[in-house]
C-alpha cells in the first residue's frame, strides 16, 4: 500500500524532474489530501499496474499534482489534457483502456 509520505516524496521529486525528451503521453494524478483519501492512492496503483501490464511505462509520464482547489470534483486525474473527475477505481481501468486502446500503435509511435 502506498503511504502518504511516499506520495509526497514522489510529488517533490517530480517538481524537479525535467525529462530530456517529451513523453508521448502524460497522466497527472491529484495527490492533494482530499483526492488522495477519496481514491487516488488506489487509482495511482491501478495506473502503474496498467502501464506496466501494457508495457507503456517508458512512454507515459506519470506525475502527481498538488490540490487545485477543485476537491469537490475529486478524485481528479488528467490524461493528455483530458480532465476526469470523480474517478472511482472501478471505472479507471476502462478509462485507461479506452484512452490507450491501440497500445500496439502507441508503442510503435503511431498514436
Ligand atoms: S485534493 Fe485534489 S483538487 Fe483538492
Ligand 1 binding pocket includes 7 (Cβ within 6 Å): no
- Whether 67 shows a pLDDT value over 90: the answer reads yes
**CA 108 – ligand 1 centroid, Å:** 35
Rounded to two decimals, the pTM is: 0.76
CA dihedral 96, 92, 44, 53 (to 10 degrees): -50
Task: Write the secondary structure of 49-89 as one string of H (helix), E (strand) and C (coil).
Answer: HHHHHCCCCCCEEEEEECCCCCHHHCCCEEECCEEECCCCH
For 50-75, what is the mean pLDDT? 95
**CA 65 – ligand 1 centroid, Å:** 9
| CATH class of this structure's domain 4-12+23-103 | alpha beta
Residue 37: helix, strand or coil by DSSP? helix
Q: What's the rounded Cα separation, in Å, for the pair 60 and 77?
A: 14
Ligand 1 binding pocket includes 107 (Cβ within 6 Å): no
- Whether 80 shows a pLDDT value over 70: the answer reads yes
Q: Of ligand 1's atoms, which has the minimum distance to the CA of residue 70?
A: 3
Amino acid at each position: 500500500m502506498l503511504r502518504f509520505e511516499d506520495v509526497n516524496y514522489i510529488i517533490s521529486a517530480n517538481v524537479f524532474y525535467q525529462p530530456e525528451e517529451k513523453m508521448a503521453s502524460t497522466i497527472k494524478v491529484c495527490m492533494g489530501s482530499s483526492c488522495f483519501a477519496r481514491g487516488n492512492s488506489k487509482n495511482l496503483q491501478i495506473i502503474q499496474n496498467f502501464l506496466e501490464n501494457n508495457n507503456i511505462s517508458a512512454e507515459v509520464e506519470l506525475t502527481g499534482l498538488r490540490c487545485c482547489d477543485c476537491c469537490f470534483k475529486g478524485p481528479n486525474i488528467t490524461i493528455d489534457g483530458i480532465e476526469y473527475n470523480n474517478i472511482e477505481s472501478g471505472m479507471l481501468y476502462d478509462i485507461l483502456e479506452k484512452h490507450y486502446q491501440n497500445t500496439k500503435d502507441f508503442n510503435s509511435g503511431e498514436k
